[in-house]
């Protein structure tokens, strides 16, 4: 378990450092990274981490994904708290490093609804985005592990796609750890509830939908006798 938790902490650290770092660097460089670049950064870093860590911890890197795997009976309940703590620790460490590097940046890449939009719009978007992401993860993963020739490409592509079209409105977080860490370190907590609850709700909806469409193939872990 120590090895798996270390992999989740390291993977989430890299995800948050690269993804929110792209947002921060885009801001301080006058838009050199661009919105497209930020979206691709999130997708590419997740894809690479799946290939690097998928066979160790499953490369969840996201509390909502871990909860989704658990509800789908692909992940043991006793492993859920250590995974979530590891993911949060890695994310917070990444945000603190970005704070050291860019001490004047006001948000450190924290997610929030765009100006002129309503919080419920971002909440619904985050639910739908995480639903799509979790549904794809359940369909391409083996057990609770995102590992295989196509898993990294499929999941990374979904993240990049969703960030491309929804990022300007809601931030396209889909990940409580990715949103909570910069919010805590920067003190931007007013909208963090959206990004804690909406991704979990979307992941749970995806599990239900996958179970209806794919049946035991989705909500079952035959290798662990959980069918």
Condensed to tens digits (0 to 9), the pLDDT of residues 73-111 reads: 999 999 999 999 999 999 999 999 999 999 999 999 999
Q: How confident is the model at residue 225 (pLDDT cuts 50, 70, 90)?
A: very low
Class of domain 2-224 as given by CATH: mainly alpha
Please determine, for residue 216, whether its predicted confidence score (pLDDT) is greater than 90. no
Please determine, for residue 47, whether its predicted confidence score (pLDDT) is greater than 50. yes
pTM (2 d.p.): 0.92
Portion of the chain with pLDDT greater than 90, in percent? 85
The string of pLDDT tens digits covering residues 126-157 is 999 999 999 999 998 876 666 667 889 999 99
Q: Which of 209, 182, 172, 189 is nearest to 20 (CA)?
A: 182
Widest Cα–Cα separation across the chain: 54
- CB of 211 within 8 A of CB of 72? yes
Portion of the chain with pLDDT greater than 70, in percent? 94
Token digits for 152? 């990294």
Please determine, for residue 224, whether its predicted confidence score (pLDDT) is greater than 50. no
Q: How confident is the model at residue 206 (pLDDT cuts 50, 70, 90)?
A: very high
**What's the mean pLDDT when you consider all of the chain?**
92
pLDDT score for 198: 98
């Amino acid at each position: 378990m120590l090895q798996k938790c270390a992999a989740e902490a390291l993977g989430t650290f890299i995800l948050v450092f690269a993804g929110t770092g792209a947002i921060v660097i885009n801001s301080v460089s006058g838009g050199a990274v661009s919105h497209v670049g930020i979206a691709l950064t999130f997708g590419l870093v997740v894809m690479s981490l799946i290939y690097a860590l998928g066979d160790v911890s499953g490369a969840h890197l996201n509390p909502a994904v871990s909860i989704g795997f658990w509800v789908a009976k692909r992940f043991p309940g006793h492993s859920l708290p250590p995974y979530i703590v590891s993911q949060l620790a890695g994310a917070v460490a990444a945000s603190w490093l970005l704070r050291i590097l860019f001490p004047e940046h006001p948000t450190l890449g924290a997610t929030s609804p765009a100006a002129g939009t309503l919080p419920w719009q971002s909440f619904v978007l985050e639910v739908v985005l995480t639903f799509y992401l979790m549904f794809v993860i359940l369909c391409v993963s083996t057990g609770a592990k995102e590992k295989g020739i196509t898993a990294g490409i499929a999941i990374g592509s979904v993240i990049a796609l969703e960030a491309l079209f929804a990022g300007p409105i809601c931030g396209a977080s889909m990940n409580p750890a990715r949103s909570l860490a910069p919010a805590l370190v920067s003190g931007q907590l007013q909208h963090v509830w959206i990004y804690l609850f909406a991704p979990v709700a979307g992941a749970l909806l995806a599990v239900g939908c996958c179970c209806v469409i794919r049946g035991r193939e989705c909500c079952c872990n035959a290798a662990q006798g959980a069918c």
